[in-house]
């Protein structure tokens, strides 16, 4: 259970052995990979006129993320973050903002209000799509929480 190092008195603790149930998340999501991929693909095709498919689901523990959109549910807080390049591509495909997207890439500054609104909407829609009884077996009631600041997260799922 504990892995000892070569230095006496120091040992490495493994997160999946300390009672946190996060080690079950990769199995939960990779086991439902096809279902999640089909739901996300149809969502982006219907709502944003973009053909997006998943390649893999990555999992990582103890993450620092300052730019995520926070949501609160009955079991705690969730965070959602999306690459700005994907966000700009969605805006370009849906609204036809090709010229202003090139300007935004050139400036590479703070996100615009339109990007922030789309990110908020994507956060609620995608998390609701993933965290339901059919997909993950967990039905969460989510709402955005802009008053809380959390930068350290116990677990991160990366959809690529």
Domains of the chain: 22-159 (3.40.1550.10)
Smallest Cα–Cα separation from 80: which of 45, 117, 119? 119
Residue 160 has a pLDDT of 86
**CA dist., res. 27 & res. 157, Å (int):** 12
Residue 100 has a pLDDT of 59
E-strand spans in 13-147? 57-64, 69-73, 76-80, 143-144
Structure-token match 């996300």, residue found: 40
Chunked into runs of 10 residues, the chain (160 residues) has average pLDDT values of 54 56 76 91 91 89 88 89 88 73 63 89 92 83 90 86
Could you tell me the CA-to-CA distances from 150 to 72, 110, 156 in Å, in that order? 12, 20, 13
Smallest Cα–Cα separation from 90: which of 43, 154, 28? 43
Residue 1 has a pLDDT of 43
Residue 154: CA atoms inside 13 Å, Cβ hemisphere, count? 12
Are the C-beta atoms of 23 and 115 separated by less than 8 Å? no
């Amino acid at each position: 259970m504990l892995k000892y190092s070569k230095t006496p008195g120091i040992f490495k603790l493994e997160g999946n052995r300390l009672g946190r149930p996060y080690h079950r998340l990769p199995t939960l999501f990779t086991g439902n990979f096809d279902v999640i991929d089909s739901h996300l693909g149809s969502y982006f095709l219907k709502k944003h006129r973009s053909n997006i498919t998943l390649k893999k689901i990555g999992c990582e523990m103890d993450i620092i993320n300052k730019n995520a959109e926070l949501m609160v549910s009955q079991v705690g807080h969730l965070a959602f973050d999306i690459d700005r390049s994907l966000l700009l591509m969605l805006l370009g495909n849906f609204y036809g903002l090709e010229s202003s997207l090139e300007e935004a890439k050139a400036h590479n500054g703070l996100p615009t209000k339109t990007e922030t609104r789309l990110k908020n909407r994507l956060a609620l829609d995608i998390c609701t799509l993933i965290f339901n009884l059919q997909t993950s077996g967990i039905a969460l009631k989510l709402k955005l929480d802009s008053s809380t600041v959390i930068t350290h997260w116990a677990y991160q799922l990366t959809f690529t």
